Structure 1
Amino acid sequence: MNREQISQLAHADHPISAPLGDDSVRRLLERAVPGGAARPPRVLDLGCGGGEWLLRALIAYPELRAEGVDIAAGALARARQAARDLGVDQRLILHEADAADFAAPHAFDLVLCVGATHAFGGLLPTLAAARKHLAAGGRVLVGEGFWAAEPSPEAVEMLGEDLADLPTTIDRVVADGWTPVYGHISTRHELDDYEWAWTGTLAAWALDHPDDPDGAAQALAASATHREQWLRGYRDAFGFVCLVLRRNSLPPADK
């Protein structure tokens, strides 16, 4: 069982692959999708996975046009089928490609990357990639982890040395030429609900498939390992923030 299969099973009950509840996703899209344009807004999701952000945006905004990029063929196939089932497939284009190398034929009013910044090597490289696709006046919706408390060495090893505390994370974004116009910090409930859904859904699949002993054993082991890392490693230190950003075209203010 490969990483994509594990992820697909683990996210079956939490299709937004980030610690966000449905209301938070809706509010973020309300703040991020531009309105009042002369043409229908275009949205691009870099690292779209199963396309859940795009599907919700397409349902909420009937004029919107969406494109997604991901290397996971299985996830893209599920996104295409879901779009057909929802009747929004005529407004969705999906590309099987490395998001870091993707070249679009036009610019987008909103570029999304939530929970997939690892595909670019971190937050700032993700913003650099998003900038290349952004139309004038457009917005970026990015989701990234941060340290909500002092992490243990084990937590840093698990989640990476590039994470910083929240003020430093925002400082880095601003110094890179962006202005936050909205944000959401995941609540304890959202963080825990995501982890319980990830580990629990995977474990339940394993218990429900004794006819696949190898797959069940791998899934159960992955669930147990993840749960242990979460509870004993990073639960008390990890936070997650989503930011709606605009490019800063103004000169820096005098201090």
Structure 2
Amino acid sequence: MTTSVRLRFLGTGTSFGVPQIGCGCAVCRSTDPRDKRTRCGAVIETGGGTRLLIDTPPELRLQLVAAGIDDIDAVLYTHEHADHIHGIDDLRAFTIRRATPLPLYGEAATLDTLRARFPYIMDEQFRPLPGTTRPEGTLTLIQPGVPFNVNGTDVLPIAVPHGRSSVVGYRVGDIAYITDAKLLPDTARAALVGVRVLVLNALLRQPHPTHLSVAEAVAVAQEIGAERTFLTHLTHDTSHAALAAELPAGIAPAYDGLVVSLA
């Protein structure tokens, strides 16, 4: 496993984002920059120089510019929902400078959705007009529990249920990123043994049919026992400061732009 790893949170919000359109609640009106949450995405960088983008959320261009990310080696997709894939066209900025298509990893349902929703990217027969460009990607099927390698970096996909859908979390070295989970089955827990930094979604205070609640995420985090756990996919249900104040030691809300490093 890779030892030196850095995780950068690009976006930490729910599918609505925060502030939410048309909402005048205290969190949506907050001046705390940590309460401005774009849709979920992250970048994992290894000491060996590999940079992996997790998902392509709708605000991807703004997120990458803010983070100063100018190159990536691959995209790891968690699942096919709109808030996790609809920024895919922003990959064009990377692929116009590459000699080969960008590898895009995901489960079968995710890859099928990408083919159906973005044929101008995925159809190898499509050719853009002279003087125009399109993202260039190569779809690669992954299987949960079966590690794969990107430029010398081992990546372990971890399956978790998300309502009627399956979501893939990823472990790279001692960092694991899991979003949109309703629970962590035994296979996922086994894959997380020894992880030092864990990311979990925590949608609302009350139970939700497809997501961990804050209390459920805290309970799972304590069972996994990582040194540090960060909660993501957060709503305007609570402010960053209020949530941070009530969480147990070792568990904290993530925020857009947060960087976590492991030597």
Shorter-chain TM band:
0.3 to 0.5
* TM score, norm. by length of structure 2: 0.38
Tell which structure's C-alpha radius of gyration is larger: 1
* TM score, norm. by length of structure 1: 0.39
Could you say which structure has the higher helix fraction? 1
